[in-house]
């Protein structure tokens, strides 16, 4: 939607609507947009993922439940790689829950199968789907420095194209 008049029609849409968000994405600075839409984001879906998937992979007593719940997809999940990635990769800029999620991705083969390093992924504008030429508003690295950026990263992680493969 590159036609300005098409975007302007959303100017008076109610706060919280998709139209108003589209209007704001076009007219607000990245900093203001992130602050408005991601600083106090609803993390219900993130918490669901953490409680029902990610945390189970991290708790040894729940790993068999995790594998059963995810079935064939997790047949080759590598818990050792997940733990190694968490300990050895540069993840200190992320909140603890996000570090665990990103390390979970490593255990699931995300970085190996996409042939991308953590550093390249963090600086990529197509981090939600590294094999496509699609660009996000910001890189993961840029989001880390924005108010609401960590919540933006959380929302992007649970909506990665990876989960639909």
**DSSP state string for 96-109:** HHHHHHHHHHHHTT
Same domain membership, residue 58 and residue 139:
yes
Same domain membership, residue 102 and residue 24:
no
Same domain membership, residue 78 and residue 159:
yes
Same domain membership, residue 145 and residue 88:
yes
Name the least confident of 12-16, 56-60, 65-69, 109-113. Answer: 12-16
- pLDDT confidence of residue 76: 85
pLDDT at 79 over 70: yes
CA quadruple 160, 53, 142, 21: dihedral positive or negative?
positive
Same domain membership, residue 147 and residue 70:
yes
Helices (H), 28-139: 30-38, 44-49, 55-58, 63-70, 79-88, 96-107, 110-113, 118-122
Same domain membership, residue 110 and residue 54:
yes
Mean predicted lDDT score pLDDT of the chain? 88
Same domain membership, residue 85 and residue 48:
yes
34, part of any domain: no
Same domain membership, residue 5 and residue 78:
no
pLDDT at 145 over 80: yes
What contacts 8, CB < 8 A, 6 or more positions away?
23
pLDDT at 35 over 90: no
Nearest to 83 by CA among 59, 119, 48: 59
- Domain span holding position 138: 39-164
Nearest to 103 by CA among 54, 152, 52, 49: 54
Please give the tally of structural domains in the chain.
Answer: 2
Same domain membership, residue 20 and residue 77:
no
Same domain membership, residue 85 and residue 20:
no
Same domain membership, residue 56 and residue 134:
yes
- pLDDT confidence of residue 110: 93
Same domain membership, residue 56 and residue 16:
no
pLDDT at 1 over 50: no
Stated pTM of the model:
0.86
Q: Judge whether 159 and 128 are in contact, CB under 8 Å.
A: yes
Q: Judge whether 85 and 99 are in contact, CB under 8 Å.
A: no
């Amino acid at each position: 939607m590159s036609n300005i008049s098409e975007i302007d029609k959303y100017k008076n849409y109610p706060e919280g609507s998709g139209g108003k968000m589209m209007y704001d994405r076009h007219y607000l600075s990245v900093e203001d947009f992130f602050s408005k839409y991601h600083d106090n984001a609803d993390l219900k879906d993130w918490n669901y993922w953490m409680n029902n998937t990610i945390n189970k992979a991290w708790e040894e007593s729940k790993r068999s439940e995790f594998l059963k719940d995810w079935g064939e997809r997790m047949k080759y999940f590598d818990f050792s790689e997940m733990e190694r990635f968490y300990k050895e990769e540069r993840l200190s800029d992320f909140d603890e829950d996000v570090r665990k999620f990103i390390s979970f991705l490593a255990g699931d083969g995300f970085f190996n199968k996409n042939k991308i390093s953590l550093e390249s992924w963090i600086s990529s504008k197509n981090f939600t789907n590294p094999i496509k030429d699609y660009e996000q508003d910001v890189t993961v690295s840029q989001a880390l420095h924005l108010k609401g950026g960590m919540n933006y990263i959380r929302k992007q992680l649970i909506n990665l194209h990876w989960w639909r493969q």
